[in-house]
C-alpha cells in the first residue's frame, strides 16, 4: 500500500515508517520544512510538502494514499482547531483511504483495578479532554477509520519514561510526580509500530484498539529501574502533585492517573503480541542506559 504518515519525524511516526517500509509498503511522509524533507528522503521515504497547521496544503499530500497514519502531537496554539481542520482535510482528500488515528490511554481516565477495554466509557483527563472529539471526527468522517489508543510509549531511549533517566542524570535521583504507587500501561514503540502495520493491513472499518503489553507497571518501580540504569542506584525523588501542577499544569495529573489497559482485542483480531523488552528492563539495561534520551 501507499501509506501517508503524518508525523513521520516524531517518536511514534518514525517507528511506524520504519516498520511499514521494512514490510513492503511504500511510505509517503509529510514534511513541513526543508530539514524534515531532507531527513525523510535520507531514510528512503517519499517526502511531500505539507503542514497540519495549513490544511489547504494537505490535499496534494493525501492524493493517492491507500492509507493514512495520523501520529501528530501538537503542543502549541489551538490544537483542537488545528487537528480538526487537518483531519477533515485529509479525509476529504482521500475519502476511501484507511485512516489510522493515534489517540491514547488517557481518554479512559483512572481505571481502578479493572483493565479498560475499547468498550469502556471514556472519562478523559484534562490534558486530553478534546481527544474523544478528535477520534469522532475520524470515526464519523472516514470510510475506513481505525483508532489506536496506546499506553505510555517507551523504547529507543525516548517517550515519557525518558524523563526518569534525565532527572536521575541531572539531579542524582529519578523524579516521580505524586507518590509513585499508580500504574502505567506501557507499550514499546516498536511493538506499537507492529500494531499500526497490522491495523492498516487487516483491521475492519471503525475498529478501535488499545495498545499495551499487559504488564501492570508501578510508576515508582519504573523510576527506580531508570535510576539504576543511569548509575544512581535506584534513588527516587517524589515531587508532590501540587508542586508538579505548578510546574507542568495538567500534564502532572495525567502522569498520576492510575490505569490498567487490556489489549486482548488487538491480539484476537490482528494477532498482535508484544514481544519487546519490558519497560523496567529497558530503562535499566536497554535503550535508556548509557545514552541521552531521544525526543
**pLDDT tens for each residue of 17-72:** 999 999 999 999 999 999 999 999 999 999 999 999 999 999 999 999 999 999 99
Reported pTM: 0.96
Distance CA 285, CA 288 (A): 7
Residue 62 lies in a domain: yes
Residue 292 lies in a domain: no
Residue 93 lies in a domain: yes
Residue 282 lies in a domain: no
**pLDDT tens for each residue of 60-85:** 999 999 999 999 988 777 899 999 99
Of 98, 107, 96, nearest in space to 134 by CA? 107
Residue 45 lies in a domain: yes
- Cα 182 to Cα 220, 226, 273: the distances in Å are 8, 17, 25
Give the CA dihedral 208, 191, 157, 3, nearest 10 degrees.
Answer: -70
> Considering just the CA atoms, what is the radius of gyration of the chain in Å?
19
Q: Which CATH number covers residue 192?
A: 3.40.50.720
Q: Please state whether beta strands 207-211 and 144-150 pair in parallel, antiparallel, or not at all (unpaired).
A: parallel
pLDDT at 291: 52
pLDDT above 90 as % of the chain: 95
For residues 222 and 184, the answer to whether their CB atoms sit within 8 Å is: yes
Residue 94 lies in a domain: yes
- DSSP assignment string, 112-125: TTSPB-TTSPP---
**Residues of the domain holding 93:** 2-159+186-213+260-276
Of 27, 53, 52, nearest in space to 42 by CA? 27
Residue 147 lies in a domain: yes
Q: Give the chain's mean pLDDT.
A: 96
For residues 280 and 217, the answer to whether their CB atoms sit within 8 Å is: yes
Instruction: Quote the DSSP letter at residue 56.
Output: G
pLDDT of 293 higher than 50: no
pLDDT at 290: 66
**pLDDT tens for each residue of 226-235:** 999 999 999 9
Give me the number of domains the chain comprises. 1
Residue 165 lies in a domain: no
* C-alpha cell of residue 104: 491514547
Amino acid at each position: 500500500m501507499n501509506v501517508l504518515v503524518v508525523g513521520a519525524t516524531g517518536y511514534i511516526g518514525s517507528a511506524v515508517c520504519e516498520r511499514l517500509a521494512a514490510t513492503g509498503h511504500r511510505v509517503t511522509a509529510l514534511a513541513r520544512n526543508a530539514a524534515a524533507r531532507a531527513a525523510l528522503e535520507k531514510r528512503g521515504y517519499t517526502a511531500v510538502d505539507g503542514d497540519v497547521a495549513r490544511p489547504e496544503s494537505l490535499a496534494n499530500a493525501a492524493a493517492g494514499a491507500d492509507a493514512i497514519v495520523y501520529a501528530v502531537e501538537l503542543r502549541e496554539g489551538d490544537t483542537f482547531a488545528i487537528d480538526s481542520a487537518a483531519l477533515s482535510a485529509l479525509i476529504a482528500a482521500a475519502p476511501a483511504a484507511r485512516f489510522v488515528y493515534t489517540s491514547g490511554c488517557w481518554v479512559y481516565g483512572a481505571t481502578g483495578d479493572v483493565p479498560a477495554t475499547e468498550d469502556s466509557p471514556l472519562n478523559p483527563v484534562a490534558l486530553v479532554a478534546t481527544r474523544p472529539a478528535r477520534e469522532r471526527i475520524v470515526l464519523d468522517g472516514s470510510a475506513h477509520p481505525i483508532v489506536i489508543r496506546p499506553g505510555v510509549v517507551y523504547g529507543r531511549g525516548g517517550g515519557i519514561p525518558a524523563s526518569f533517566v534525565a532527572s536521575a542524570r541531572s539531579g542524582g535521583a529519578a523524579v516521580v510526580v505524586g507518590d509513585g504507587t499508580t500504574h502505567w500501561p506501557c507499550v514499546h514503540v516498536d511493538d506499537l509500530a507492529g500494531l499500526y502495520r497490522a491495523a492498516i493491513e487487516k483491521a475492519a472499518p471503525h475498529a478501535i484498539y488499545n495498545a499495551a503489553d499487559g504488564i501492570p507497571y508501578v510508576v515508582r518501580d519504573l523510576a527506580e529501574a531508570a535510576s539504576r540504569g543511569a548509575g544512581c542506584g535506584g534513588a527516587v525523588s517524589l515531587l508532590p502533585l501540587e508542586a508538579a501542577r505548578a510546574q507542568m499544569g495538567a500534564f502532572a495529573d495525567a502522569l498520576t492517573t492510575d490505569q490498567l489497559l487490556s489489549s486482548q482485542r488487538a491480539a484476537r483480531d490482528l494477532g498482535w503480541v508484544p514481544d519487546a523488552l519490558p519497560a523496567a528492563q529497558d530503562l535499566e539495561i536497554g535503550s535508556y542506559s548509557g545514552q541521552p534520551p531521544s525526543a
